[in-house]
Copies of this chain bind each other. A is one copy, B any other.
């Protein structure tokens, strides 16, 4: 009997290193030809499975797969924000049909909380319906909010180390700018991702672990108001003549963001303005003790795809946990997520790969530890620095270029021939 096939898919917002988990899975499967048949990539995550759009990755050479190491984001096979929810029975049935039609024996799902929840549901479905399928999750999220509060199921998610390195460098560079340009521009506001969970803005502390620079960090969890932010900034200007403000996109700006049109309707609410802009506008209504104005910037998706800043540690771990997922599938079967755990003995930073039950992961929550927020509420503690510092690695990643441009992997857009009727979205069926 020929080995059964594999589907791998990505889900949620991408990271700098997500393609390394994909690479690890592809390369590990290829190194076990008796255990795994063809490896298909779901085009745009689970949506590609539902639509039976399966990229035949055997059409892409080993050299091109190797280039996934330094190819950021999900241009390779795509990602989605589609979530398989309880009650969407027809979607689950469709997944089963597609897997059966293409003789899929293993399903790897690379993603964050929602994705691991989907992987868990698929694994349960397989078990309950007698489908001979092994579903294994692979962690991925820049937010680092996957896993448990005690960091025992998972120390950190691939993707976080690179966004942390991005902020360490970004803020360090911003400091050169702010220190040199403060007569005109004394306040620089930088908006960080991570709507509810503060691991990303917290990483700004890695730019200045010795706390020599005038940096203020506003996590969503700080519980501070826009007015308190303003007071803090003015105080920093009094002492240093300049200030760098790193603010979470989820920071609660209160009612200032709600702007009404001439009929009294809220026209551009907070959701239609960036937090950075609201903070800048507010600061510029205050009386500064120095000349000059506040200005702001929004790194946006750049923070999760700027490959030049990728942490080599993160790249390697994303690859390692991808490869490990294949081992988990081979040796332990259905219902696991591959994990990264930090060695708790020995000196220095070392990790090992392990596994956690998908059921446990899907029902876990991780917040930014309250004890890592400094008493000032505008900083994080040394315990956070100790945790996060090793994740950003040491040296720069080497990204191959051609004619001065990065050379990213090109996945051949060769699809498995379709065998089923076209997918009808669950919502369309519900209406019909």
Interface of A toward B, CB cutoff 8 Å = 10, 13-14, 44, 47, 71-82, 165, 168-170, 172-177, 179-185, 188, 206-207, 259-264, 267-268, 272-274, 276-277, 281, 284, 295-302, 304-309, 311, 389, 392-396, 398-399, 401, 403-406, 408
B-chain residues with CB within 8 Å of residue A180 when the two chains form the complex: 10, 14, 44, 73-79
CB nearest neighbor in B for A399: B396
**Cβ contact of A301, chosen from B71, B188, B260, cutoff 8 A:** B188
A113 to B184, CA, bound (A): 17
**Cβ contact of A82, chosen from B79, B183, B301, cutoff 8 A:** B183
Decide: A73 and B176 in contact? CB cutoff 8 A.
Answer: yes
Taking the closest CB of chain B, its distance from the CB of A121, in whole angstroms, is 20
Decide: A259 and B264 in contact? CB cutoff 8 A.
Answer: no
| 4 A-B pairs closest in CB distance | A297-B300, A74-B180, A75-B176, A73-B176
What is the total number of copies of this protein in its complex? 2
CB nearest neighbor in B for A295: B300
B-chain residues with CB within 8 Å of residue A296 when the two chains form the complex: 298, 300
**Cβ contact of A176, chosen from B172, B173, B408, cutoff 8 A:** B408
Decide: A405 and B81 in contact? CB cutoff 8 A.
Answer: no
Decide: A168 and B405 in contact? CB cutoff 8 A.
Answer: yes
Task: Supply 21 A–B pairs (Cβ within 8 Å), ascending by A.
Answer: A44-B183, A72-B177, A74-B179, A79-B181, A80-B183, A168-B404, A173-B302, A174-B301, A174-B302, A174-B305, A206-B404, A259-B267, A259-B268, A262-B264, A272-B281, A273-B277, A298-B300, A308-B309, A389-B404, A393-B404, A394-B404
A311 to B404, CA, bound (A): 9
Q: Give 9 new A-B contacts, CB below 8 A, not counting A78-B180, A174-B302, A177-B301.
A: A44-B180, A72-B176, A75-B179, A174-B301, A177-B304, A181-B301, A268-B268, A295-B300, A395-B404
A24 to B209, CA, bound (A): 32
Taking the closest CB of chain B, its distance from the CB of A173, in whole angstroms, is 5
Decide: A299 and B301 in contact? CB cutoff 8 A.
Answer: no
**Cβ contact of A305, chosen from B168, B177, B259, cutoff 8 A:** B177
Decide: B181 and A13 in contact? CB cutoff 8 A.
Answer: yes
B-chain residues with CB within 8 Å of residue A78 when the two chains form the complex: 179-183
A126 to B432, CA, bound (A): 85
CB nearest neighbor in B for A301: B177
A396 to B295, CA, bound (A): 29
